[in-house]
A and B are shown apart, each in its own frame.
Chain A
Amino acid sequence: MSPGHRRFFALALIMALTAAAFLLIDAASFADSVEPADEGDFGAAEARKASRMPEQWITADHSQHQILAEGNFTSGPEVTAACLTCHNQAALQIHETIHWTWLCPADPERELGKAGLTLNNFCISVPSNEPRCTSCHVGYGWSDDGFDFDDPTRVDCLVCHAQTNEETGPYLKFPAGSGNPVAEEKVFPGNGRTYFPPNWNAVAMSVGRPTRRNCGQCHFNGGGGNGVKHGDLDQSLLTPSRDLDVHMDAEGPDFDCVRCHTTESHRIAGRCYKQPAATDRRSLIDSDLITRITCESCHTDAPHEPGHKANDHTDIVACQSCHIPTFARVMPTKMFWDWSSAGRMRDGAPYKVMGDLDRPTYDTKKGDFIWEMDVVPEYFWFDGTLEYTLLTDEIDPSDVVRLNVPVGERGDPDSRIYPFKVHLGVTPYDAGNNRMAVPHLFGKDENAYWKSFDWAKAIQAGTDYIRNSYPEVMEFSGEVGFVETEYHFQITHMVAPKENSLECAACHSDESRLSELTGFYMPGRDANSLLDTIGWIAVFGSLVGVGGHGLLRMFSSKNNEEASS
């Protein structure tokens, strides 16, 4: 090489090195140039910046308000009246919310909701069963369809705001008290527990921002007991470990529900029926006025380290799908409820059978149950809304009736793959009309199923009752049947620490969790079998070819040697 050549070569090498260095830097930080504060903690660090809150929000100490200290209250509405003297818009705000109406605010027809025409495959429907169901209403006295929804003093401020402790004593609504606490000491036969009248003044003076205990009183016990309904909401979230929920971790960030379910005029951010939890995907980095209801509100839609492939998934896979590997991780949840076996007696009396998980597997009043823990979710495309089978809809009893079903499809920019709990049921229906039915379950009257165990009477009473409010519901035919049903719950709580999130192969393998979702190619799960066959024939053909060639060479070289010798 001449010196001129050598210089040219050195120059070219430097250029190549520089080009390669740029390529590598580009590969390492493809999407962004933001340096994570703590390596491997990128999304969490960004979210902490976005969601930092002041320590003290409230400028009033309610224990020093005279009206509360000296009120001498003997009932809920009296306390509410006192609250309203200052918070004069609060009850009117509550009246507009689903917490009050039990109807989806996004449904102008006023059909979607517990108080409307939707059903579930737990205790099925509210109408005619109010005194029991409305123990979870944010009001006092909703005992039947004559309840005055316009009365401001009927709003129960305390159930959400009371911060009770040992000194104040508990604030508990009686389980069958139409939303009222007891006026005098009383035992609830359902759980054998004694309920005492609240110490109204002390409880009223304790009010503050809602904690997990306030929300959990109802939402952890949906379906009438701990963990019955949701699968991702149960009493284990009162003091959760980090493993159970990274955000609510009682020893860590200790988030309350309202930290994400942010509130404006008592309208609490969250999904309901027709209304997605959020309709845009902006984060607090884009706008500081949005709700914090989605993961992306704080974590953005690129929450992993720059260049991490998981960031390329967030357009079609919800965070929850990987970060909630299973639900009901600490306490069991109900997965199956067969009403058709209800009503059996032992020695002429109703009975219960307890199962392995310390939960009943049979109850004369309700039938057979299956409880499960650590349940792997099912996955569906979901745009944030659910479609419901209404009482007025015709059903096909030969098929599984989906009492609700996630709406969404691949290709829709608002749809992503979300995890769900699917609760299976065998549920009574009106077999003459092929309509779902409202059974009158709770009550002391002879028509109540839990009194006389007669489905025909119960459904007749329930149907007659709801026809007062919804005359479009058909009259009961008199014929009772049982149909298989499904009810879907979006899984969004119990977010596991990142080290417990799903591995790629949970979906990218032939045992994919997403095996039910078809119509798209997923590496590791899908392959073109024709190409694989041709490809391996080519590979093995090459092996056989060179093997044969080699053998021929061996024999021929021997022959050649012999010939030449």
Chain B
Amino acid sequence: MSTTKRLNLYSKFERFNHWVQAGLIITLILTGFEMHGTWSLFGFEKSFTIHNWCAWAWLTLFIFDAFYLMVTGEWRQFQPTFRKLRDVIRYYLVGIFRGEPHPVPKSERAKHNPLQRLAYLSIVMILVPFQMITGFLYYYYNDWAAIGLGGVELSTMALLHTIGAFGILAFIIVHVYMTTTGHTIFSHLGAMITGYEEVEDHGQETKEQAPSS
């Protein structure tokens, strides 16, 4: 029978940043797909206005976040590692169904497992900048000639921006589901709200389980 311990995982700013970004991204998806013609919620014009304000707000928050990670050193939480990556993947594909413990338990020093590190890093370094760049270029369509993009068709930028949107939407679905894989269904979610998470304390057990490969 395992015991639990309480970890202090997420600072006030991290939680604020997470939920504001979540709200902005969901709003961007709702209004973006409305302008795309997928559904009707606010009307094109309102969606357009909301989308643009959210875009600026997201960029601003993103800049804050980057500063925060830099000055606090928390960027190290996203440093990619391949050590135990295969174990983690195997855990989510097989071990989780057998009731095995997680191969890389959370700690205050390492909040993210190798799979999370890779996923979050590529989201933050690739998908989000891609979406922001294509989005702002899309908006400033009339100035393309001035920055040497005169030959590009609007449809190309629209296509890229929509690809990004689908990518983010798919990420959110998996991300939200993964929050249910903690000690209890809501323990990961709770951590992002309160900052604290109860995790299983396997003590010695964890260390004995050496990677199988």
Q: 16 A–B contact pairs at CB < 8 A? A: A12-B70, A12-B71, A16-B67, A20-B63, A24-B56, A503-B44, A505-B43, A510-B37, A523-B35, A524-B35, A525-B37, A526-B158, A527-B162, A528-B159, A535-B165, A541-B170
Question: Considering the complex, which residues of chain A in the window 521-538 have a beta carbon less than 8 Å from any beta carbon of chain B?
Answer: 521, 523-528, 531-532, 534-536, 538
Smallest CB–CB gap between A38 and chain B, Å?
21
Q: Are B44 and A542 in contact (CB under 8 A)?
A: no
- Contact of A23 with B98 at beta-carbon distance under 8 Å, contacts A12-B70, A521-B155, A538-B166 already known: no
Q: Which residues of B contact A527 (CB under 8 A)?
A: 36-37, 162
Q: Are B142 and A312 in contact (CB under 8 A)?
A: yes
Whole-angstrom CA separation of A545 from B173 in the bound complex: 10
- Interface flag for B91 (CB, 8 Å): no
Query: Which residue in B72, B97, B158, B177 is a CB contact (below 8 Å) of A556?
Result: B97
Q: Are A13 and B67 in contact (CB under 8 A)?
A: yes
Q: Are B173 and A9 in contact (CB under 8 A)?
A: no
Question: Considering the complex, which residues of chain A in the window 502-552 have a beta carbon less than 8 Å from any beta carbon of chain B?
Answer: 503-505, 508-510, 520-521, 523-528, 531-532, 534-536, 538-539, 541-543, 545-546, 549-550, 552
4 additional A-B pairs beyond A23-B63, A505-B43, beta carbons within 8 Å, are A20-B63, A24-B60, A510-B37, A532-B162
Question: Considering the complex, which residues of chain A in the window 471-525 have a beta carbon less than 8 Å from any beta carbon of chain B?
Answer: 503-505, 508-510, 520-521, 523-525
Smallest CB–CB gap between A564 and chain B, Å?
8
Q: Which residues of A contact B38 (CB under 8 A)?
A: 532
Q: Are B43 and A23 in contact (CB under 8 A)?
A: no
Nearest first, the 6 A-B pairs at minimum CB distance are A521-B155, A535-B166, A546-B177, A556-B97, A505-B44, A560-B99
Q: Which residues of B contact A12 (CB under 8 A)?
A: 67, 70-71
- Interface flag for A315 (CB, 8 Å): yes
- Contact of A539 with B173 at beta-carbon distance under 8 Å, contacts A315-B142, A556-B98, A557-B99 already known: yes
Smallest CB–CB gap between B8 and chain A, Å?
15
* Size bin of chain A's contact surface: 35 or more
Q: Which residues of A contact B125 (CB under 8 A)?
A: none
Question: Considering the complex, which residues of chain A in the window 308-358 have a beta carbon less than 8 Å from any beta carbon of chain B?
Answer: 309, 312, 315
Query: Which residue in B56, B158, B169, B173 is a CB contact (below 8 Å) of A546?
Result: B173
Smallest CB–CB gap between A549 and chain B, Å?
7
Residues of chain A having any CB pair with chain B under 8 Å: 5, 8-9, 12-13, 15-16, 19-20, 23-24, 27, 309, 312, 315, 503-505, 508-510, 520-521, 523-528, 531-532, 534-536, 538-539, 541-543, 545-546, 549-550, 552-553, 556-557, 560, 564
- Contact of A16 with B63 at beta-carbon distance under 8 Å, contacts A8-B71, A546-B177 already known: yes
Question: Considering the complex, which residues of chain B in the window 122-169 have a beta carbon less than 8 Å from any beta carbon of chain A?
Answer: 141-142, 153-155, 158-159, 162-163, 165-166, 169
Whole-angstrom CA separation of A19 from B59 in the bound complex: 11
Q: Are A503 and B70 in contact (CB under 8 A)?
A: no
Q: Are B97 and A523 in contact (CB under 8 A)?
A: no
Whole-angstrom CA separation of A275 from B165 in the bound complex: 47
Task: Give the interface SS of chain B, mostly helix, strand, loop or mixed.
Answer: helix
1/0 contact string of B24-64 vs chain A (CB within 8 Å): 00000000000111100001110010001000100110011
Whole-angstrom CA separation of A538 from B162 in the bound complex: 13
Q: Are B64 and A509 in contact (CB under 8 A)?
A: no
Q: Are B170 and A539 in contact (CB under 8 A)?
A: yes
Query: Which residue in A13, A509, A538, A560 is a CB contact (below 8 Å) of B44?
Result: A509
- Interface flag for B174 (CB, 8 Å): yes
Whole-angstrom CA separation of A23 from B56 in the bound complex: 8
Q: Are A309 and B48 in contact (CB under 8 A)?
A: yes
Q: Are B180 and A16 in contact (CB under 8 A)?
A: no
Whole-angstrom CA separation of A505 from B163 in the bound complex: 23
Q: Which residues of A contact B71 (CB under 8 A)?
A: 5, 8-9, 12
Whole-angstrom CA separation of A549 from B173 in the bound complex: 13
Smallest CB–CB gap between B134 and chain A, Å?
13
Q: Are B37 and A524 in contact (CB under 8 A)?
A: yes
Q: Which residues of B contact A528 (CB under 8 A)?
A: 155, 158-159, 162
1/0 contact string of B165-201 vs chain A (CB within 8 Å): 1100110011001001100000000000000000000
Q: Which residues of B contact A504 (CB under 8 A)?
A: 44-45, 48
Which interface residue of A504, A526, A557 has the most chain B CB atoms within 10 A?
A504
- Interface flag for B96 (CB, 8 Å): yes
Q: Are A560 and B96 in contact (CB under 8 A)?
A: no
Q: Which residues of A contact B159 (CB under 8 A)?
A: 528, 531
Q: Which residues of B contact A532 (CB under 8 A)?
A: 38, 162
Nearest opposing residue in chain B for A10, CB measure? B71
Query: Which residue in B153, B165, B174 is a CB contact (below 8 Å) of A521?
Result: B153
Whole-angstrom CA separation of A526 from B38 in the bound complex: 11
Whole-angstrom CA separation of A12 from B73 in the bound complex: 13
Q: Which residues of B contact A312 (CB under 8 A)?
A: 141-142
Nearest opposing residue in chain A for B100, CB measure? A560
Nearest opposing residue in chain A for B167, CB measure? A538
Q: Which residues of A contact B92 (CB under 8 A)?
A: 549
Smallest CB–CB gap between A316 and chain B, Å?
9
Q: Are A523 and B158 in contact (CB under 8 A)?
A: yes
Smallest CB–CB gap between A318 and chain B, Å?
16
Smallest CB–CB gap between A157 and chain B, Å?
48
Whole-angstrom CA separation of A541 from B170 in the bound complex: 9
Whole-angstrom CA separation of A181 from B142 in the bound complex: 56
Whole-angstrom CA separation of A24 from B52 in the bound complex: 11
Query: Which residue in A8, A524, A550, A552 is a CB contact (below 8 Å) of B36?
Result: A524
Smallest CB–CB gap between A16 and chain B, Å?
5
